[in-house]
Each structure stands twice: as structure tokens, then as C-alpha cells.
Structure 1
Amino acid sequence: RDYATMAGALAANHPSEFNAALQEYTASLIPAQARAMNKARWEVFFNRMEPFYHAMVLYILAGLLAVFSWFNLSETLRRSAVGLIGLAFVIHTAGLIFRMVLEGRPPVTNLYSSAIFIGWGAVLLGMILEKFYKNGIGCVASAGIGFLTLIIAHHLALEGDTMEMMRAVLDTNFWLATHVVAVTVGYSSTFVAGFLALVYILRGVFTKTLDADTGKSLARMIYGIVCFATLFSFVGTVLGGIWADQSWGRFWGWDPKENGALIIVLWNALILHLRWGGFIRERGLVLCAIGGNIVTSWSWFGVNMLGIGLHSYGFTDAAFQWLVLFVVSQLALIALGLLPARLWRSFRRP
């Protein structure tokens, strides 16, 4: 009706009538668009606050304090690191919840949000470890993975809208809240186990701070986290198969992303069976956990770059280069871990 009135006024050259109809139409839009405008204002506020950037800075500071506490055995530094990580985690959590409310979705909807959530889950696991062991290792794991995943998220955000329109096949909050969250928790925990393994090797080879008790504590942490990762990876993969059956009419189709999820389950299960069978001990467990970093990074990013399958979201040269660099670094650390014990500073006899 308003359009017809404006068209008639324009044709009759009645500007006052046209302006009145335009004002009436504009007023009618305000109630309908109020919710969208309010959401847009909150989204602008969220972007200006930059919670993940502030959390990232705090993770760096906390990680440095935790590392320094190893060398001078300062309980004050360790507690300060715990406090900073706690503050960063609160900010990280607030940002995650804010995004969920704005989108009206579970925490993981795309690669960007997966990086945010993987970091969040890893920080939570690291804080739980620190609560029980109180040796600074959980702090370093939390700070390290929290910082790295937020850096990844920052670069992913440069590629476009981080709250993009949901793909039709993903437009279901139930499966996003079950399958996707379970698989992503599996990613988080596998990365935590791998990061703890890196701490073991770097402290053992380059410092004298890896004594027998610390080594055993790290091995227990890694073993427990691998058990946790196996459970969530398996449950998440099975749930993904059920979702695939509902969406595409088959439980399993050997899609690259499905294969990547299966490889994580098999790798973690292999670690546990090797441990239970006595085929690997402390150092073998550590080296296998680093291998978990490679497997998980491939499942997370690598399969998306193949350009095939139902889960392919495109190839980028920069992402491929960083993935290759990460894999090479993990292989180098595995090689470092294979050095004879006499070459490790922590194991040298005086």
C-alpha cells in the first residue's frame, strides 16, 4: 500500500504526499527490524571489545610466568600464572557465549569457531590438570594451546565473515551440539596430550628440570588425556555417522573428513593398546602423543584442502604451507625424542 501511494504521488508530482507516505513506511519498518538492529548493535559491540585478542595476550603472559616458575621453582610465579589463565579463560568463555547468543547456535559452526572452541576446551583441560598436579605443566599447556588456537582463529577471521550463513546440511542445532562438539572435544584433548608430550621432550633434551617424578607425572597426564580423547572421538564419530545416515542416506561413505575422524580414534586406541600391552613405556607414549598432533591437524584442516568429499571447504596456499610446517615441526620433535638418553640434559650424569 505504501509503495502504491508513493508511486502515485511521484507520478502526480506531489512531493508532500510522497514524503508522508515514505515516513509512514519507514515507521512501519522500525518494529519489524528492531530485533535485527539490536542484534547488529550487539555484534558491533562484540567486535569492538575483541575478547579473544585480550584473552590471547593474557595467555602469553601466563605461559611465560609458568615457564619461569620451572627454573626458579617459584610458587608465586606459578600461582600468578594460574590467576592470569583463569582471567583469560573467563574472557574466552564470555566471548564464546556471546557468539553463541548472537548466532543462536551451539559453539562450533565453522572452522573459525572450531579454533575458538578447541582452544577453550584445551584450556579447561589444562586447568584441571594444574588443579591436581600443581606443577605449572597444566598452565603451560593451557596458555600454549589457548594462544595458538586463537592465533589460528585470528587468521581465519581475515578470510571473511566469522558468523556466515549456515550451510543447509549443517542447519541443525541438535547435531551441531552433539556430533560436532564431541568431535571437537576429541581434537582439544588430543592436542593437549600432544602438547604435554612436547613439554616432556623439550624439558628433557634442553634443560635439567625433567626429573623422574616430573616425567612420571607427565606420562600419567598424557595417558589420562589420551583415554579422554579416545572416548570423545569415538562417540563423536559414531554420532557423525548417524547424522550422515539422516542427511545422505548412508552411515559411512569413506569421505575424507570421515576418514580423518576415524584415524584419530584408531591412533588414540593404538596408543592405549601399545601401553596396555607393554610395547611402549614412558618415552614411547610421549612420541606417540606427538604423532596425535599430526593426525588431528590433518583431520581438522588437511582434509578440507583436498577439494573432494562432502566436507571440503576450499584450498588456500597459506593454510597448506602452515599445515606442512606444523607437520614438519612435529616430525622434528619426534626425531629429537628418539635421541639416546645420554644426550638429554636432564638424564646426563654429572
Structure 2
Amino acid sequence: MNSTKTGALPQHELLTERSLWARLNGWDWLFAVAVVAMGLYAQFVFSEHHMDGYEVAILWGTVIGTVWLGWFFKPLRWYVPLVVLLAFVSVTLYGGRFDAGSEKFLLRYFLASQSAIMWQCALIFLALFCYVAGTLSAWRQHKSGNAFLDIGTGLAWAAAVMGLVGLLVRWHESYLLRPDAGHIPVSNLYEVFILFMVITGLMHLYYEGRFHMQRLGAFVYFFMAVLVGFVLWYSFARDAHQIQPLIPALQSWWMKIHVPTNFIGYGAFCMAAMFGVAELWKIKRPQATWLPEAAAIEEVMYKAIAVGFLFFTIATVLGALWAADAWGRYWSWDPKETWAFIVWLNYAVWLHMRLVAGWRGKVLAWWAVIGVFITAFAFLGVNMFLSGLHSYGTL
């Protein structure tokens, strides 16, 4: 019925979509059953790692979150089982002996943590090459898609698979090295950079598929290649890939939820900065048909910042709770906390200016680009140049 004739207000397109429950099919429910089975296996088979009540709660929160994400972002229905299968194969090949990693072919060259992470690094460079080649082809042929871009997407997925496999296997290896001191691999800069690349890669793949932004892959994976360069330098020059004991300040279950949540925010902010670069390019050269329209790029940039702001806010709250548990106070204006607040305030004002003041275009794009430098200083610069309670992630 025509809303103009009846006087009814037109509904927003999101309100006319079917609910999530109505969109579920048999594969979705099979995925949910598989993830729950993985959770049960992790709880009861790995009980020798002495999971306490908090860790069990984190495990099942992760299970529920993974099921929901798989229902929301359909490719995760194959991504998660594949990652878990490869990690399980690696754990089985180790057979409880850390030195098996240098003896067995699959472990040494593919499924040991360091091997998988090196594959992730190589695949990111290959993905960048294909995205750039695909973008150049789109520019010359005036087409939005081509085989190079599709291959780049496939390589980006492969990199995300190997990166997460590497982290899961590294977790197991930490227990093989020190059965009483194993820990989740988010305790130092090397480990969190791997997590950072996995999260950023997955987020880009979501936005790429959801909003048909394949041609922005060259911008995002150029940034990813810079991260790979740092990881390789940090690994070989500083021997950072060696698994180290967990320092007392990080021996807390809070780390398992605070750090991953934080890096969802970091990943979204950095990806938004690359979208900002693409928007500025399009604004300066509107005839560049190989790029999406500037308004479309900005919309995706806004969505990325909104998601990042949500998770960064949650991570900041979790960090305050952790501080209260560890030091007896929620906030101490430590340099890390101060710069976390500056990052939060920066993106809060960005969102306010877009949603309330109605700002659009070049100013917001530049703001997003500059924002990544503020974020980078909060992440790395504070540890390098300032000292405080969080000075345990130095280079």
C-alpha cells in the first residue's frame, strides 16, 4: 500500500528487513551446534589447564559471540571450523612435546605457531599485490571487479586463517613450554600485532563483502603490509617470537577480554583511516572511476568508526575494572590511561560532528587519517616515550 496515500510514514529499510531469527537456515544451526561442541570439548578436554569460574564464563561468552557473528557474517561459518580444525591437527601432531615442532614436516613448515604466522605475513603481501593489480586493471578497463581482486580477497581470507591458527597454536605451545604458566597469546607487542592483523583483516573482509568495497583492498592491505614489516623486524631483530613467561601484572583473566576488545577498536580506527585516504583521493580526483563514490566510502568509514568506538569504549571500561581489581582504583591518569581517553574523546567528537552537526567530506576524512596517528601514539608511543603503570610493552 502506498504510504503517501494512506498518510503513513515510510519505514527505514532496516526496519523492513526480516529479523535475524527469520533469516537462519539449516547451515546456521549446524554451525551453532558445531561451535557449542567445540566449547564443550575445550572445557572438559583441556580441564588440566585449571579453568576457573571466570575463564569458563569467558569461554561460553566467546561461544555465544562466535555463534552470533557466524549468523551475522556468513563466511565465518566455514572460517571458524577451518581454523579450529587446523589448530586441532597441530595440537595432535605436537603430541605433548614442544620439540615435535622441529621434527614433523607439517608443524615445521605450516602449522607450528611461527610457521603459520609467517604464512600470514606472506599471504598479506600477496593479497596486497593482487589488490593493487586488480585496482590498476579496474582503472584501465573501467570495470568494478576482476579476477585479481577476487584472488586478493581469497588471499586475505587465507591470511586471516593462518594468523588465527598461529595464535591458537601459540597458546598451546605456551603450555607445552611451561605447563604451570601457559597463557593466552596477547601478552606482548608481537602477539597483539598478530591479533591486530587478524581482526583488521576480518573487519575489512566484512565491509568489502557487505558494501562492495573490494577496490579499497589496496589501501587497507598497504597498511597491513606496513604492520607485517614491523612484525618481521620485531621477530628477527628482537627475537620477539620466542614465547616468554607472563609477567605478574598480566596474570589475570581480565587480559583475556580487555585486550581483544581493545584491538577490535584499534583495527576499526586504522581501517577507517585507510578509507579516509581513499575518500580524499576520490574527492581530489572525482574522475577516478576505479574508486567508489566519495559518499559511499565515507559511509563505510563512519560505520567502521562507530563499531570501533563501541568496542574501544567497552575495552576502556574493562580496563578500569581491571585497574580497580589490580591496583585498588579505577583511574589514575597514568599516561596510557590518559592517551586512551584522548583517543576515545577524538572519535566521540568525530561521531558527534557527523551525526549532530552534519559534517561531511574532506574534513572528516582528514580527521580519520590524523586519528590513526593519535591511536598509534596511544598504542606504541606511550610505551616507547613515557613511563607508567602500563610500561610493560616496550620495544
1:152 aligns to what?
A: 230
2:167 aligns to what?
A: 96
- Code of the residue aligned with 2:145 in structure 1: it is E
Aligned counterpart in structure 2 of residue 81 of structure 1, from 127, 148, 152: 152
Q: How does 1:143-222 map to 2 (within 5 A)?
A: 143-157=221-235, 158-162=237-241, 163-172=243-252, 174-205=253-284, 208-209=287-288, 214-222=293-301
Aligned counterpart in structure 2 of residue 121 of structure 1, from 169, 184, 199: 199
2:376 aligns to what?
A: 297
1:10 aligns to what?
A: none
Q: 2 CA distance for matches of 1:254 and 1:63? A: 43
| Distance 1:271-1:307 versus aligned 2 partners, 3 A rule | closer
Q: 2 CA distance for matches of 1:220 and 1:74? A: 18
Aligned-residue offset at 1:118: 1.2
2:347 aligns to what?
A: 268
2:130 aligns to what?
A: 62
Q: Is the 8 A contact 2:123 2:159 kept in 1?
A: yes
Please tell me whether residue 226 in structure 1 is matched to residue 305 in structure 2.
yes
Map Cα deviations across residues 177-204 of structure 1 (whole Å, 9 max, x no partner). Answer: 2111111111111001111101122344
Q: Is the 8 A contact 1:226 1:268 kept in 2?
A: yes
Aligned-residue offset at 1:250: 1.1
Map Cα deviations across residues 86-113 of structure 1 (whole Å, 9 max, x no partner). Answer: 2232223322332233235334211111
Q: How does 1:267-286 map to 2 (within 5 A)?
A: 267-278=346-357, 280-286=359-365
Aligned to 1:302, what secondary structure does the other structure show? helix
Q: Is the 8 A contact 2:190 2:231 kept in 1?
A: yes
Q: 1 CA distance for matches of 2:229 and 2:291? A: 34
Q: How does 1:216-255 map to 2 (within 5 A)?
A: 216-255=295-334
TM-score scaled by structure 1?
A: 0.73
TM-score scaled by structure 2?
A: 0.65
Q: 2 CA distance for matches of 1:187 and 1:53? A: 19
| Distance 1:294-1:210 versus aligned 2 partners, 3 A rule | farther
1:334 aligns to what?
A: none
| Distance 1:290-1:253 versus aligned 2 partners, 3 A rule | same
Give the structure with the higher percent helix: 1
Q: Is the 8 A contact 1:126 1:141 kept in 2?
A: no
Aligned to 1:280, what secondary structure does the other structure show? coil
RMSD: 2.7
Q: 2 CA distance for matches of 1:261 and 1:37? A: 41
- Code of the residue aligned with 1:245 in structure 2: it is A
2:41 aligns to what?
A: none
Percent identical? 24
Aligned counterpart in structure 2 of residue 52 of structure 1, from 96, 103, 120: 120
Q: 1 CA distance for matches of 2:292 and 2:319? A: 40
- Code of the residue aligned with 1:65 in structure 2: it is A
Q: 1 CA distance for matches of 2:263 and 2:351? A: 20
1:106 aligns to what?
A: 184
Q: Is the 8 A contact 1:244 1:250 kept in 2?
A: yes
Aligned to 2:254, what secondary structure does the other structure show? helix
Q: 1 CA distance for matches of 2:101 and 2:339? A: 37
| Distance 1:232-1:66 versus aligned 2 partners, 3 A rule | farther
Aligned-residue offset at 1:70: 3.7
| Distance 1:214-1:109 versus aligned 2 partners, 3 A rule | same
Q: Is the 8 A contact 1:307 1:313 kept in 2?
A: no
Q: List runs of 5+ in structure 2 lacking aligned partners.
A: 1-94, 175-181
Q: 2 CA distance for matches of 1:270 and 1:255? A: 22
| Distance 1:151-1:34 versus aligned 2 partners, 3 A rule | same
Map Cα deviations across residues 66-100 of structure 1 (whole Å, 9 max, x no partner). Answer: 42244132522322322222223222332233223
Map Cα deviations across residues 126-173 of structure 1 (whole Å, 9 max, x no partner). Answer: 11111122242442344223322222211222213322221111022x
Q: 2 CA distance for matches of 1:269 and 1:120? A: 25
Q: Is the 8 A contact 1:62 1:143 kept in 2?
A: no
The higher radius of gyration belongs to 1
| Distance 1:222-1:74 versus aligned 2 partners, 3 A rule | closer
Q: Is the 8 A contact 1:66 1:136 kept in 2?
A: no
